[in-house]
A = this chain, B = another copy of it.
């Protein structure tokens, strides 16, 4: 129960508001910054928490929430409410708590809102951060959902074996950079693709992929994949969809596996692109599996035990693209969809 002896100061609360549902690519003007008041104290009897938001995560799935719910998109993805703040994953500090599991000063990560201060009425969905000897912003990426996505997606769905040929699209992104490094640690041959020379250089130099290429410079993706995978692809970690998936299907090896993490190329499409080469799923006995990290939370503790030592020992590199302040939030989020970010896109609201 919140302490009622102190009524709490009322301060201004900057917010990033979602204007209205969109079609096509998101634009900065689809969001705007507004300021309202917030009392730095929970109302008496609240079982929630009051958060000071520190780091906000920009993730591709957020585009899906900018379209009214369609029957296809399932329960996991509830659309944004026009006129309300954008929501998403973030790292925050607990300022006040009415919930027995959280106390003032705790650092947490989980679903919060794009604003300076948020009241979370059901804080059971938040994770308390135990290891604070790594940058806290990592809990929007490598130590949060993108990290767990890469971990569960690669180790569980892809059934990787040493020496296998692994291809990662959107490889410089939050998930892709980790999948490639997990695959290297396992002894796989790893090729990544990304959309700029800078990202390609990063994949090879920083993330130690065996090869990398700029898909925008390849007029024939099938030919590019044949160049990098003359023996074919055992594992494809799918972040892109559309034409890329079609080219990959032509290059899968027998009993290949495709973990379908997302299809960022399709989120902004009015009508999704047709994928024509699915017959190869039969020819090559391919297993193609969609997944959602929400089904893998039970592995989170084991995941942290594995990955935090990797980070501390320098076995895994991690690159973030940090945007300063809520004012830069819309631009940072929009940038995801034209590939402007290099590494995990984070928005800093406050550093402590």
Which residues of chain B have C-beta atoms less than 8 A from A254's C-beta? 74-75
Cβ–Cβ contact B289 & A287, under 8 A? yes
Binds B, one of A189-197, A278-286, A305-313, A321-329: A278-286
A260–B278 CA distance with the chains assembled, in angstroms: 10
Cβ–Cβ contact B295 & A282, under 8 A? no
Interface string of A269-292 (1 = CB under 8 A from B): 001111111111111111111111
Asked, given contacts A272-B278, A277-B272, whether A290 binds B284 with beta carbons under 8 Å apart, the answer is yes
Which residues of chain B have C-beta atoms less than 8 A from A280's C-beta? 72, 74, 290
A161–B273 CA distance with the chains assembled, in angstroms: 34
For chain A, give the interface size range.
35 or more
Cβ–Cβ contact A289 & B291, under 8 A? no
Docked complex: A224-279 residues within 8 A CB-CB of B:
241, 245, 249-250, 254, 260-263, 266, 271-279
Indicate if A35 sits at the interface (CB-CB under 8 A).
Answer: no
Interface string of A292-306 (1 = CB under 8 A from B): 100100000000000
Indicate if A73 sits at the interface (CB-CB under 8 A).
Answer: yes
**Closest CB in chain B relative to A73 CB, distance in Å:** 5
A278–B267 CA distance with the chains assembled, in angstroms: 12
Asked, given contacts A72-B250, A250-B72, A254-B74, whether A272 binds B276 with beta carbons under 8 Å apart, the answer is yes
